[in-house]
Amino acid sequence: MHLFTILALVTEALTLNYPEQQAFIGGTTSYSVQTPPLDTDWTYEVGTDPWPQYPRPKLARSPWQSLNGIWTYANASGQGALSNPPFNQTLSQEVLVPFCLESGLSGIQGANTIYSWYRTTFTVPPKWTGDRVLLNFGAVDYEATVFINGRNATFHRGGYYAFSVDVTDYLNGRQNELIVFAFDPTDSDQHVISIGKQTLTPSHIFYRPCSGIWQSVWIESAPTNYISDLSINGDASGQGTNNSIATHSGTAGSPITFNVKSPKTWSPDSPNLYDVTIRMGQDTVSSYTGFRTVIREEVNGVQRISLNGDVIFPFGTLDQGYWPDGLYTAPTYEAMTFDIKMLKRIGYNMLRKHVKVEPALYYAAADELGILIMQDMPSLATTSLPNKVQQAEFQRQLEILVTQLRSYTSIFAWVIYNEGWGQITSYNPEFGLTDIIHELDPTRLVNSVSGWFDHGAGDFSDNHHYTNPQCGSPQHSINSGPFDPSRLGFQGEFGGTGHNVSAKHLWKVKEAIDTINQTYELYETLDAWNFRGHFLLSELLFQVQLYSCAGAVWTGTTDVEGEVNGMMTYDRRILRPHVQKWKADIQALYDASARRSDGPTPTAS
Ligand SMILES: *[C@@H]1O[C@H](CO)[C@@H](O)[C@H](O)[C@H]1NC(C)=O
Ligand SMILES: *[C@@H]1O[C@H](CO)[C@@H](O)[C@H](O)[C@H]1NC(C)=O
Ligand SMILES: *[C@@H]1O[C@H](CO)[C@@H](O)[C@H](O)[C@H]1NC(C)=O
Ligand SMILES: *[C@@H]1O[C@H](CO)[C@@H](O)[C@H](O)[C@H]1NC(C)=O
Ligand SMILES: *[C@@H]1O[C@H](CO)[C@@H](O)[C@H](O)[C@H]1NC(C)=O
Ligand SMILES: *[C@@H]1O[C@H](CO)[C@@H](O)[C@H](O)[C@H]1NC(C)=O
């Protein structure tokens, strides 16, 4: 109660713009995890030194220092607050970076955190003197203005993307003050921005939003001329880089292409990766790549996906990437990779990362562990269709998505639109956006429209249907139009069968529990749920054998809030599938696809 009083005073002080008094009002509420509506086995292991791993394995520099940990935070009064940043003041509450303000792990667990101040201080190691100091953010949702020692260092828009700024000229040689102003309207007012499944009014398949700093923050030292970006691609023939005992030189800013003799290719079953070291002048960064080629081709009259020359049947889950304690941020690295390992254990070779973008470490883990990723663009708020300016911003961020993630080996396809969300249908912008992606990244497939308004763009004829699949089959959802055999027959979503587990494993928010009855099918026991799963997988198998089914996505990896259809509950404590049975059913899909791609085309009777 005492703490509440302090908070109220500080908020008032902010609103009244008396920043010089703020620092002296009663001190700062210290950090503790706020009990989330559901925890995980990792929640209370996070401590106050979260995510200590080096955050950017694709372009890694050794002199670095994490700025994750306890910062201070205050709810800001509005955009106008930017004209009067709280320099040299300790803010009202401690916050754990990098966990979104709505999460229990942040220590805030706030609502309507639209305008926010963050503050920390840091000193630069003396041995970095003479070099540049770069400040890096993994992601801040949705806009960030960054101040160093009272000066505006940079501004960034887009909730899912990394950004860096050279702050050398703003540093003072002592303790430096870092302040971030974050603005995240989510789906309020007339904002139509890229938010994925976040909403200020969660209901069933739309969830609690994530605001502010939600990925690692760190500083690093680099020479005056440094490598600021790297795009790396290895194909199955060995084009792209030399192996780790070899060197090759080229010019920065233009592609360097060379051959490696018989590289071990990358696939989900053998995720071989090669270390790469890049030197430019005084700068050295380490990276890695895998060698793989993904194409679409007709095999025995059916459009198929091939990986390194062999037909593959990508079968994965719809993967939302949400955590009950950290929301967009997994509590720990171990927790994050737990999901991927579990999917592999059940037999999946793929996941569809659904309208969310993960931290770089996630994609590196997928490369290492071996799982294909179909990567969605985070969808726009669906309150209304985007106007011209909003559509241009969507396109700009789509280009950033592809540019920032195209070096990861595991990604095999991009998705632009999901189920018509934010999709303008008056002039079909998916055609132009598909061309842009093919230009930025000619090494992957494009699923222009996953579900609903398909006008023929891209590599996939993707159908969503619940609960049973209609994959490359004559039966097709009305919204998607008939199956188009000139493109890949794909089931972008099916399954979604629910199991209302005991209250203990539910997200204890009444509004969420009240929407559980919207689940397509709800089973009372795991035996019944598994039986139904087997039936639906058998139906998919039949479609692989008879029709043009080239891959499919089961909904989903975990429960999220009021959505109770996961392989695992939201807390990851209950695994629903009878693993051996599912594994056998999934293997049957792979085998059926392989048989039809090898042997003669079955003759229709
Ligand atoms: C922040 O302030 C807004 C009004 O400006 C209020 O609606 C919201 O509840 C506050 N959030 C927190 C976490 O204090
Ligand atoms: C913060 O305080 C320090 C030490 O008094 C001072 O040098 C600096 O100018 C102040 N920063 C701002 C933005 O006022
Ligand atoms: C901070 O600088 C950026 C340019 O880097 C500019 O777009 C933004 O408006 C500035 N913000 C403020 C509050 O001055
Ligand atoms: C690859 O590495 C080998 C061994 O160091 C070297 O002899 C060869 O020239 C390199 N190839 C290319 C194309 O750079
Ligand atoms: C689901 O449950 C809620 C809350 O009990 C109720 O208001 C709603 O009518 C139910 N909806 C359906 C489809 O049964
Ligand atoms: C799901 O389980 C919760 C907790 O036991 C219960 O409150 C809720 O009514 C159930 N919902 C449905 C649709 O069965």
Q: What residue segments make up the domains of the chain, in order of their start?
A: 32-49+60-230+311-600
Which ligand gives the minimal distance to the CA of 522? Answer: 6
Closest residue CA from atom 5 of ligand 6: 503
Query: Is residue 582 a contact partner of residue 537, using CB atoms and an 8 Å limit?
Result: yes
Ligand 3, closest atom to CA 85?
13
Q: Give the tokens for residue 43.
A: 């929640």
**CA dist., res. 574 & res. 442, Å (int):** 40
Closest residue CA from atom 13 of ligand 3: 82
- Name the one residue in this structure whose structure tokens are 């056998």: 584
Which ligand gives the minimal distance to the CA of 181? Answer: 3
DSSP annotation of 48? T
- Residue 555's alpha-carbon distances to 120, 252, 424, 459, in angstroms, are 40, 43, 26, 22
In this structure, the number of other CB atoms found within 10 A of the CB of residue 309 comes to 11
Best residue for ligand 1 mutational test, from 73, 100, 113 (most atoms within 8 Å of Cβ) = 113
Q: Give the tokens for residue 542.
A: 């039949």
**CA dist., res. 134 & res. 170, Å (int):** 11
- Residue 239's alpha-carbon distances to 220, 254, 260, 275, in angstroms, are 31, 16, 6, 15
Between the two ends of the chain, the Cα-to-Cα distance in Å is 77
Ligand 6, closest atom to CA 501?
2
Query: Is residue 215 a contact partner of residue 185, using CB atoms and an 8 Å limit?
Result: no
Q: Give the tokens for residue 410.
A: 């595991």
246 CB within 6 A, ligand 4:
yes
Q: Give the tokens for residue 25.
A: 């009002």
- Name the one residue in this structure whose structure tokens are 């632009």: 416
Closest residue CA from atom 1 of ligand 3: 152
Instruction: List, for the chain, all residue ranges whose pLDDT scores fall below the cut of 70.
Output: 1-26, 239-244, 246-247, 599-605
pLDDT confidence of residue 477: 87
DSSP E strand stretches across 260-332: 274-280, 283-289, 294-299, 302-307, 310-312, 315-319
446 exposure class (CB count in 10 Å sphere: 0-12, 13-18, 19+): buried
Residues 570-596 pLDDT 10s: 999 999 999 999 999 999 999 999 999
Best residue for ligand 4 mutational test, from 242, 258, 275 (most atoms within 8 Å of Cβ) = 242
CATH (one of 2.60.120.260, 3.30.420.40, 3.40.50.720, 3.10.129.10) for 32-49+60-230+311-600: 2.60.120.260
Ligand 5, closest atom to CA 517?
1
Q: Give the tokens for residue 529.
A: 């749920």
Best residue for ligand 6 mutational test, from 204, 499, 500, 506 (most atoms within 8 Å of Cβ) = 500
Ligand 4, closest atom to CA 248?
14
Q: Which residues does 118 contact at the CB level (< 8 Å), separation at least 6?
A: 71, 72, 73, 91, 95, 97, 179, 180, 181, 182, 212, 213
**CA dist., res. 363 & res. 138, Å (int):** 13
- Name the one residue in this structure whose structure tokens are 């010089």: 20
258: three-class secondary structure by DSSP: coil
Dist. CA 144 → ligand 3 center (Å):
10
Closest residue CA from atom 11 of ligand 5: 517
Residues 327-359 pLDDT 10s: 999 999 999 999 999 999 999 999 999 999 999
Please give the angle made by the CA atoms of 189, 195 and 198, to the nearest 5 degrees: 85
Ligand 2, closest atom to CA 172?
7
